[in-house]
């Protein structure tokens, strides 16, 4: 992967670990950081050797405090790439899974980044909020729509309309956090989840992710089930579709190709 100024991207086998690297401003993002992250996820999306990503923040205080308001207040020009905040929140066509390893504060846009990921693993000191109304803004990078799709609407509105901060444990109880662990165990736990996903066919994972999200956009269950999904079509025509049953019949571990 390329060298970056405001983030790091490290590949280990099929796994890419992306770290927002602005700890001095609690990993908040300005224009240049957003466009760097777009490049990272563009490369991830098109690299056939990378099947899953973990996203986290540098340091122990913050995953991301969201938009860099000091940069904005100082007259910095605020621009976002077409793929959204952190190059991720508007990336609706990404079928590869992304895990958020939330290592502290996830506020505003930082929470929206986590919500745009497929799983959220949180350290026990993590906290989440959409506090934009307290500064005259609104969570327009997906938070207003993803949160009430992931937890009950009344609970989502309770967070959105007050801007209140939610702990990692409450986030798990509400349903948007998958697991809470001590901070020292956060990355190992996120990697454990990644390894479980990597045991499955990447073609099946991509088909499943696309069908879930696209199906949720359908009001009718029959329409969701009978919908046409490109990643499902690709799975049915893949080498993995043949390899999986063959490996099962031969009582051996499958050798996934991702094609």
Out of 5, 60, 112, 255, the active site residue is: 112
Position 2 scores a pLDDT of 61
For residue 69, is pLDDT > 90? no
User: Tens of pLDDT along 191-203?
Assistant: 999 999 999 999 9
pLDDT of the residue at 78:
82
Every domain of the chain and the residues it spans: 7-198, 202-249
At residue 74, the pLDDT reads: 80
The pLDDT of 238-246, averaged and rounded, is 97
Query: Nearest to residue 88, comparing CAs of 145, 26, 37, 49?
Result: 37
Question: Of these residues, 24, 36, 60, 132, which one is catalytic?
Answer: 132
Is 112 assigned a catalytic role?
A: yes
Interval 168-225: pLDDT, tens:
999 999 999 999 999 999 999 999 999 999 999 999 999 999 999 999 999 999 999 9
- Residue 200 buriedness (CB in 10 A; 0-12 / 13-18 / 19+): middle
- CB-side neighbour CA atoms (13 Å) of 45: 14
Distance CA 229, CA 237 (A): 13
Whether the pLDDT of residue 235 is over 80: the answer is yes
Quick check: is 195 catalytic?
A: no
Report the distance separating Cα 180 and Cα 65, nearest Å: 19
Q: Report the distance separating Cα 2 and Cα 190, nearest Å.
A: 23
CA distance 229 to 234: 9
CATH architecture of 7-198: Alpha-Beta Complex (3.90)
């Amino acid at each position: 992967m390329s060298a970056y100024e405001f983030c790091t991207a490290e590949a280990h086998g099929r796994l890419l670990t992306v770290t927002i690297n602005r700890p001095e401003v609690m990993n908040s993002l300005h224009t240049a950081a957003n466009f760097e992250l777009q490049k990272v996820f563009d490369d991830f999306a098109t690299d056939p050797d990378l099947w899953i990503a973990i996203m986290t923040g540098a340091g122990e205080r913050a995953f991301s405090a969201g938009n860099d308001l000091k940069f904005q207040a100082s007259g910095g020009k605020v621009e976002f790439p077409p793929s959204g905040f952190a190059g991720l929140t508007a990336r609706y066509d990404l079928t590869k899974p992304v895990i958020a390893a939330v290592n502290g504060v996830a506020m505003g846009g930082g929470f929206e980044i986590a919500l745009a990921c497929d799983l959220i693993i949180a350290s026990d000191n993590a906290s989440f909020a959409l506090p934009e109304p307290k500064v005259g803004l609104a969570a327009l990078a997906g938070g207003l729509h993803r949160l009430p799709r992931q937890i009950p609407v009344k609970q989502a509105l309770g967070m959105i309309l007050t801007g209140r901060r939610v702990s990692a444990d409450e986030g798990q109880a509400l349903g948007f956090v998958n697991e809470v662990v001590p901070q020292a165990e956060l990355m190992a736990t996120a990697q454990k989840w990644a390894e479980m996903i990597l045991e499955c066919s990447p073609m099946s994972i991509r088909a499943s992710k696309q069908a879930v999200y696209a199906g949720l956009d359908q009001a009718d269950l029959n329409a969701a089930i009978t919908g046409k999904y490109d990643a499902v079509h690709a799975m049915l025509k893949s080498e993995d579709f043949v390899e999986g049953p063959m490996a099962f019949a031969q009582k051996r571990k499958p050798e996934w190709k991702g094609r």
